[in-house]
């Protein structure tokens, strides 16, 4: 699963206090991303590392408490439901990760349901959902949750699985509502004057927003540890190349903590990152981050030539709509 957020929300239900016992897990993975798969608990702690056996399979037995877990193959994630006595056999192609997951054996029904649900989430159009007005947004997510719960109630799944999955649906609903509320706050910043910044520049010295007066400014708030941030880098580099001679400055602001300053410097150099590379003071608690209410990354911001906010929650570099917007501004 490439969108890790969905899984992170889904495993919020604690497994503490549940029955504990042994499960068997076997995986036959073609085009695998590594020779080890990791089983992680709801605190993202690895409880089991399973290496390839002589037959080229990942196979092991281990102790778990009944509940939700995550399988990580070194690149992507898949949610698991594990319970005492389960004997799961997974077959998949890592190149078509979510699309190819199929479970067999005891516990397969619940886990195939999770795999199908994850694929549905991948394909769900959250952009259109988040573009709705508040009333229609609330109506749609309520309908979505009700359909999911009804499907569970009609199933013959394990009772504990149904209970936990209902809880996860509620948590997901809360999470998307919170995200929607944050987007509404961001929209209120549009057409107002941006707060300034004055940060250390990877190229030397410091750079403040006022230094870029007369240019449009596209800001990328990121960190070296952020997978989704790094996934946007190749797209950002292409955007920078396309508009390098235009009246626009590309600014990347890292919110890495101070102890990772040298790591950030090395990352920028090793990856040949372009644009203006800045390091925020006080990382997440920087005045700039607080003014924009930034508590999740990557976050993109687009300013006009006078430092006014065009879009406080701009499109990502991987979204073709960004280029359409920039073209309309620069024509």
Catalytic residue status for 181: no
Q: Of the residues 212, 229, 268, 278, which is catalytic?
A: 229
Catalytic residue status for 226: yes
Q: pTM (2 decimals)?
A: 0.68
130 & 36 share domain = yes
Query: E strands, 255-298, where?
Result: 276-279
Distance (Å, whole) CA 80 – CA 37:
13
Is residue 190 a part of any domain in this protein?
no
227 & 128 share domain = no
176 & 250 share domain = no
- Mark which of 182, 217, 245 sits at the end of a domain: 182
- Mark which of 120, 147, 182 sits at the end of a domain: 182
Distance (Å, whole) CA 46 – CA 37:
10
Per-residue pLDDT of the chain (331 residues; tens, 9 = 90+): 444 334 344 444 555 446 789 999 999 999 999 999 999 988 888 999 999 999 899 999 999 999 999 999 988 889 999 999 999 999 999 999 989 999 999 999 999 999 999 888 888 888 788 888 889 999 999 999 999 999 999 999 999 999 999 998 998 888 888 888 888 888 899 999 999 999 999 999 999 999 999 999 999 999 999 988 998 999 999 999 999 999 999 999 999 999 999 999 999 999 999 999 999 999 899 999 999 999 889 999 999 999 999 999 999 999 999 999 999 999 8
Dmax over Cα atoms in the chain, in whole Å? 66
Distance (Å, whole) CA 39 – CA 45:
8
Q: Of the residues 226, 231, 257, 291, which is catalytic?
A: 226
54 & 114 share domain = yes
Number of structural domains in the chain: 2
142 & 288 share domain = no
Question: What is the edge-to-edge ordering of all strands in the sheet holding 67-72?
Answer: 46-51, 36-40, 67-72, 77-82
Give the domain extent around 245. 198-330
172 & 277 share domain = no
312 & 206 share domain = yes
38's tokens = 């990791």
For residue 198, the tally of other CB atoms under 10 A from its CB is 14
- Mark which of 182, 214, 246 sits at the end of a domain: 182
Q: Residue 39: beta bridge partners?
A: 48, 71
């Amino acid at each position: 699963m490439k969108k890790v957020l969905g899984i992170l929300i889904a495993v919020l239900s604690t497994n503490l206090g549940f029955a504990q016992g042994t499960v068997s897990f076997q995986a036959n993975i073609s085009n695998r991303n590594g020779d080890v798969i990791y089983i992680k608990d709801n605190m993202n702690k690895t409880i089991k590392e399973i290496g390839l056996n002589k037959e080229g399979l990942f196979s092991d037995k281990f102790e778990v408490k009944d509940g939700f877990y995550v399988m990580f193959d070194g690149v992507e994630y898949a949610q698991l439901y594990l319970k005492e006595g389960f004997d799961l056999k997974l077959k998949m192609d890592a190149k078509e990760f979510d699309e190819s997951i199929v479970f067999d054996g005891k516990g397969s029904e619940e886990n195939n349901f999770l795999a199908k649900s994850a694929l549905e989430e991948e394909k769900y159009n959250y952009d259109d959902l988040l573009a709705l007005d508040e009333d229609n947004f609330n109506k749609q997510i309520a309908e979505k949750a009700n359909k999911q719960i009804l499907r569970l109630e009609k199933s013959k799944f394990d009772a504990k699985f149904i209970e936990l999955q209902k809880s996860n649906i509620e948590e997901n609903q809360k999470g998307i509502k919170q995200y929607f509320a944050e987007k509404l706050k961001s929209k209120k910043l549009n057409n107002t004057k941006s707060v300034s910044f004055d940060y250390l520049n990877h190229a030397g010295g410091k750079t403040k927003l006022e230094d870029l007066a007369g240019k449009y400014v596209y800001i990328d708030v990121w960190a070296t540890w952020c997978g989704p941030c790094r996934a946007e880098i190749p797209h950002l580099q292409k955007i920078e190349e396309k508009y390098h001679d235009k009246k626009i400055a590309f600014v990347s602001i890292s919110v890495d903590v101070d102890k990772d300053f040298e790591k950030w410097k090395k990352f920028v150099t090793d990856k040949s990152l372009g644009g203006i590379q800045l390091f925020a003071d006080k990382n997440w608690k920087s005045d700039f981050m607080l003014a924009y209410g930034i508590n999740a990354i990557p976050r993109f911001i687009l300013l006009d030539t006078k430092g006014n906010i065009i879009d406080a929650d701009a499109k990502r570099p991987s979204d073709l709509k960004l280029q359409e917007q920039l073209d309309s501004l620069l024509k």
